[in-house]
Amino acid sequence: MAKAKAGGIAGDQLESIIQRIERLEEEKAALAGDIREVFAEAKGNGFDTKILRQVLKLRKMDKADRQEQDAILELYLNALGMID
């Protein structure tokens, strides 16, 4: 009900939420721009961006894979009553 009338508290809250998110998204977009620049620079130095992306992707997957391995190990140990 608090939010029933416009211009009320809910209106202020809404405005605040929107602004905070828009601010964060600006920063995020700026970082995306920085990343693009690094790629462009790398390309200028003769690196193949496609390969670069593939390397990055693989490293990310490896990391995720390791985390999965740990998670499943823990899950099994847990199921066997060996931890927790």
Partner DNA sequence: AACGTTGAAATAGTTC
Partner DNA sequence: GAACTATTTCAACGTT
- What is the x/- site pattern for a copy of itself, positions 13-52, by CB under 8 A? xx--xx-xxx-xx-xx--xx-xx--xx-xx--xxxx-xxx
Q: Which is nearer to DNA, 16 or 54 (CB)?
A: 54
* DSSP code of residue 51: H
For residues 31 and 33, give the distance between their C-alpha atoms in angstroms, rounded to a whole number: 5
Question: Binding to DNA by residue 13, rule CB under 7 A?
Answer: no
Residue with tokens 């620079």, as numbered in its chain: 41
Question: Binding to DNA by residue 75, rule CB under 7 A?
Answer: no
Residues in the chain: 84
What are the tokens at 78? 């847990």
Least CB distance from residue 80 to a copy of itself, whole Å?
A: 5
